[in-house]
């Protein structure tokens, strides 16, 4: 397993029934889940799942109810015992550990946040956040220090002496998250962690998780049935269908190349503004390009019949946009800087489409697009942007 992989799942099965090996053999011989249930009465909860989770990423597992996602996440820390396969963390296979090894492994490597807050009502916030460390036998002063640090991370540093019934639902879930973070786990498992919250609070918690992740990179496996949530927080997404992991990829990868109709149906209705970047729609040659050292007449000649043109330096870096009108006001010998328009600003190719709607709408010409080093790569017009934003209708209409 490479250093970049925090967790690797290999050919993982969970069979609910008395003879799991027989069911797995039938599956490997070409029988599907329904046929196996009909023949044996055994249910395949997870079928031959294989994937890896990279260090420091939020890996979202999603699917409809009954797809196997919650069964899968509970096998990752052996709350549910796998029927076959490997779950490898740090070179160790969790699936083969005895109870003593498993307890030690959980304390060191994995914490879990559930949908229910599961806070102790008679304990204050600090005590709740430190509860997992208390169960692990960590001394009082040390566990409280770690719990305080975790509460600070989730924005509850001032609430240590409060009790759960004094907190909102979102704050209670933050305490649950702090309790998991206090253990400083290598991997954080979150099973539908925000789904019990009101929509507005849920969105706030998603944003806070992303913000927390930016400050403290953790490896997170997040279970969700909500595509918007998966798209908002996930670095990569695994789609489950009938116990199978049918596709793994970035939101952009899956949106552009869905593996089957089931995956395609998930992404029907996705707001592509929040998925696509300018790099996906930029076009070359929309406007002429002139060089900053050109004189006004040369620049005018290069524009030809075009109303506007982009200006670059000798290395191809964007320096501004000029128009036929702005060039006409220049005297001979004047630099093109004096003719650049103040109402046209370049956007990075990494910018989400949702963030370029306003500049594209207000610019008098296609908006210039640059790489990270400032080099001009093309432009985006209103027509191009509108077509991209209507992609869903063209694809699914």
Quick one: which H or E segment has residue 384? helix 382-389
Q: Residues near 96 by Cβ (< 8 Å), separated by ≥ 6?
A: none
- Could you tell me the end-to-end alpha-carbon distance of the chain, in angstroms, rounded to an integer? 43
Looking at the domain assignment, is residue 24 inside a domain? no
- Bridge partners of residue 61, in order along the sequence: 223, 238
What is the reported pLDDT for 269? Answer: 66
Return the DSSP state at 278. G
State the average pLDDT over residues 180-192.
Answer: 84
SS3 of 165, please? helix
Return the DSSP state at 359. H
Higher per-residue pLDDT: 295 or 184: 295
pLDDT at 1 over 60: no
pLDDT at 396 over 60: no
Q: How many CA atoms lie within 13 A of 118 on its CB side?
A: 15
> Would you mind telling me the total number of residues written for the chain in this entry?
397
Domain assignment of residue 287, given as a range: 278-391
State the average pLDDT over residues 243-267.
Answer: 88
Looking at the domain assignment, is residue 177 inside a domain? no
- Per residue in 293-333, pLDDT (tens digit) is 999 999 999 999 999 999 999 999 999 999 999 998 887 76
pLDDT category of residue 43 using cuts at 50, 70 and 90:
very high
What is the reported pLDDT for 136? Answer: 77
pLDDT over 90 percentage in the chain? 45
E strands in the chain: 5-16, 43-54, 58-62, 84-89, 92-93, 110-113, 187-191, 219-224, 236-241, 244-249, 289-291, 308-312, 318-323, 347-348, 367-370, 376-380
pLDDT at 63 over 70: yes
Distance CA 204, CA 174 (A): 11
pLDDT at 397 over 50: no
Q: Residues near 14 by Cβ (< 8 Å), separated by ≥ 6?
A: 44, 45, 46, 68, 71, 72, 75, 80, 82, 83, 243
Beta strands 236-241 and 244-249, pairing class:
antiparallel
Structural domain count, the chain? 1
**Chain position carrying tokens 């005018």:** 300
Looking at the domain assignment, is residue 356 inside a domain? yes
Return the DSSP state at 272. G
Residue 4 burial class via C-beta count within 10 angstroms: exposed 0-12, middle 13-18, buried 19 and up: exposed
pLDDT at 271 over 80: no
What is the reported pLDDT for 181? Answer: 83
Looking at the domain assignment, is residue 373 inside a domain? yes
pTM strictly above 0.75: no
325: closest CA among 345, 299, 347?
A: 299
- Per residue in 66-90, pLDDT (tens digit) is 889 989 999 999 999 999 999 999 8
Name the token pair of 211: 């913000």
Name the token pair of 266: 């998930």
Looking at the domain assignment, is residue 1 inside a domain? no
SS3 of 205, please? helix
Looking at the domain assignment, is residue 42 inside a domain? no
State the average pLDDT over residues 165-177.
Answer: 86
Residue 184 burial class via C-beta count within 10 angstroms: exposed 0-12, middle 13-18, buried 19 and up: middle
Distance CA 161, CA 294 (A): 69
State the average pLDDT over residues 103-130.
Answer: 84
Q: CB–CB of 307/365 below 8 Å?
A: yes
pLDDT category of residue 226 using cuts at 50, 70 and 90:
confident
Q: CB–CB of 363/373 below 8 Å?
A: no
Distance CA 223, CA 59 (A): 9
Q: What is the CATH number of the domain that holds 329?
A: 3.10.580.10
What phi, psi does 235 have (nearest 5°)?
Answer: -75, -40
Looking at the domain assignment, is residue 232 inside a domain? no
Distance CA 376, CA 368 (A): 7
Looking at the domain assignment, is residue 100 inside a domain? no
Q: CB–CB of 311/365 below 8 Å?
A: no
pLDDT over 70 percentage in the chain? 95
């Amino acid at each position: 397993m490479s250093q970049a992989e925090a967790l690797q799942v290999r050919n993982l099965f969970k069979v609910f029934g008395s003879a799991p090996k027989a069911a797995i053999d039938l599956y490997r011989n070409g029988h599907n889940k329904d046929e196996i249930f009909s023949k044996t009465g055994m249910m395949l909860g997870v079928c031959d799942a294989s994937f890896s989770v990279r260090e420091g990423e939020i890996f979202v597992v999603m699917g409809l109810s009954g797809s196997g996602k919650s069964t899968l996440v509970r096998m990752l820390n052996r709350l549910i015992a796998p029927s076959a396969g490997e779950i490898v963390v740090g070179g160790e296979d969790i699936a083969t550990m005895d109870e003593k090894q498993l307890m030690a492994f959980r304390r060191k490597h994995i914490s879990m946040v559930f949908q229910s807050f599961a806070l102790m009502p008679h304990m204050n916030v600090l005590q709740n956040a430190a509860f997992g460390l208390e169960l692990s036998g960590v001394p009082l002063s040390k566990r409280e220090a770690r719990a305080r640090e975790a509460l600070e991370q989730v924005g509850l540093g001032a609430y240590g002496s409060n009790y759960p019934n004094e907190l909102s639902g979102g704050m209670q879930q933050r305490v649950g998250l702090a309790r998991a973070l206090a253990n400083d786990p290598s991997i954080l498992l979150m099973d539908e962690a925000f789904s019990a919250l009101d929509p507005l609070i849920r969105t706030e918690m998603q944003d806070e998780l992303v913000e927390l992740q930016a400050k403290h990179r953790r490896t997170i496996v997040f279970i969700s049935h909500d595509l918007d949530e998966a798209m908002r927080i996930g670095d990569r997404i695994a789609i489950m269908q009938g116990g199978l992991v049918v596709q793994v990829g970035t939101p952009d990868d899956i949106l552009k190349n869905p593996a089957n109709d089931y995956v395609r149906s998930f992404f029907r209705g996705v707001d592509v503004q929040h998925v696509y970047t300018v790099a996906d729609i930029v076009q070359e040659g929309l406007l002429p390009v002139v060089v900053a050292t050109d004189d006004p007449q040369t620049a005018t000649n290069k524009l030809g019949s075009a109303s506007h043109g982009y200006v670059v330096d000798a290395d191809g870096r964007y320096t501004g946009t000029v128009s036929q009108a702005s060039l006409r006001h220049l005297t001979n010998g004047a630099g093109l800087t004096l003719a650049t328009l103040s109402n046209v600003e370049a956007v990075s190719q990494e910018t989400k489409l949702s963030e370029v709607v306003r500049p594209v709408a207000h610019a008098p010409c296609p908006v210039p697009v640059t790489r990270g080093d400032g080099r001009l790569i093309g432009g985006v017009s209103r027509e191009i942007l509108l077509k991209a934003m209507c992609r869903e209708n063209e694809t699914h209409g």
